[in-house]
Amino acid sequence: MKWTNTANLLATEFDETLSYDETLGGTNLYTNGNFEFGNTFNFSKTLETADPRSGKYYITQDHYSNWQSSEMVPVDVTKEYGISVWVKTFERSAAGSLAGGHLGFACYDKNKTFIDLRNCGGIGNVTLSRAAKPGDTSIYLASADGWYQGEDVTNHTYYFRQILFFPATHPDYGTPWYYTRFNGMRYSSLTQTGSGDWQMVLENGTLPDYGYEIPAGTPISRGVAGGSYNYAFSNPYYPEEWTNYQRTIPANTEVRNSGSQFRQATKYIRFLILGNYNIRSQSTPLAKFGLDDIALVCNSDFQGNTSTSAVNVKQDTNNTVYAQEFVEGSAKDVGQLGTISSDGKLTVNNEIIEE
């Protein structure tokens, strides 16, 4: 299928697997984010039809539960993305509270492994003053900036005292103070030596063999826990009418954060909600809320939904062709080619030519 230079659609086959979000005005990368599959594919909870925000379906939750969409959505951190979700409290809790909780996304690396803040550099970015090797009980730092100092620093919680190594020769973890999974060690003491550098005593065993040399000059950072996920929409209480929340994920901004930016080394994301987190300590029943039109759209340029479960382009019994958006096209070359309605109907400015 392709567009001709006169904006006709030359259609030999319809094989695009995309979806369209009306709120953000583009291809929705969250498959079934409007629940118009008529099921809860890619999402959990209860499917309902009584009061959808759009279409026929939405989902509800009436308890405290943290969950993510199931599909890993590939993203390009050099591009800007828009995210959107519609929420509504249908029934208040026994205590009279609105539903509420964190909304956002979770970041995953190229291996589809979750990216914790303790995998990300950015705090205590220093270098080793001496080479480190497997079996060492101490390592030595050129500076103690950004680290707890003293003979005993165990009064600080362990997940604020982790050590991140960035070996220069590692293909994935060699970028200084960027991203690593060599983060299993923590320390109990950091004191200055007579030579002027700093001795760090390891707390939980000897230095393991990471399989890569760790010479003097190797970058290290302090691993610090924080917000588990990217709470892009914060943790609002959900009004008793359908309400939309939107955020922009900026391009070229990989940072250690729990907000609306990609974390270092992000290659995939999932929708994330801490449902009813705000009222989790209340007596049951908790509030019942709904979700609809959950969307992720690439703002920079076209990105298709490549899910094998996305709805294919379809043709109705009256030969009306439906689509959600097209992968192929040359809109920049030939101008506006047509419009796409919220239910996926494609209106072409000229004509469709079937071969």
Separation between Cα atoms, residue 160 and residue 178, nearest integer Å: 18
- The predicted-structure confidence for 116-128, as pLDDT tens digits, reads as follows 999 999 999 999 9
Show the domains of the chain with their CATH numbers: 20-115+228-298 (2.60.120.260), 117-226 (2.40.30)
Please count the residues of the chain.
355
Amino acid at 332: K
Q: What's residue 355's pLDDT? A: 47
Between 176-180, 199-203, 213-217, 336-340, the lowest mean confidence (pLDDT) is in: 336-340
Q: What's residue 346's pLDDT? A: 58
Residues with Cβ within 8 Å of 223's Cβ and at least 6 positions away in sequence, in order, are: 117, 118, 119, 123, 159, 161, 162, 163, 164, 183, 186
Contact between residue 1 and residue 14 where contact means Cβ atoms under 8 Å apart: yes
Model confidence at 295: pLDDT above 70: yes
Torsion of CA 146, 152, 155, 158, to 10 degrees: 60
- The predicted-structure confidence for 130-170, as pLDDT tens digits, reads as follows 999 999 999 999 999 999 999 999 999 999 999 999 999 99
**pTM of the full structure:** 0.85
- The predicted-structure confidence for 187-219, as pLDDT tens digits, reads as follows 999 999 999 999 999 999 999 999 999 999 999
**Of all residues in the chain, what percent are helix, strand and coil, respectively (each to 5)?**
5, 35, 65
Q: What's residue 259's pLDDT? A: 97
Q: What's residue 303's pLDDT? A: 86
Peptide bond into 52 cis (omega under 30): no
Model confidence at 4: pLDDT above 60: no
What integer is the mean pLDDT of 33-40? Answer: 92
- The predicted-structure confidence for 299-329, as pLDDT tens digits, reads as follows 998 888 888 776 544 444 554 444 444 433 3
Task: Give the pairing type, strands 9-11 and 352-354.
Answer: parallel
Phi, psi of 73 (to 5 degrees): -95, 120
Separation between Cα atoms, residue 310 and residue 291, nearest integer Å: 19
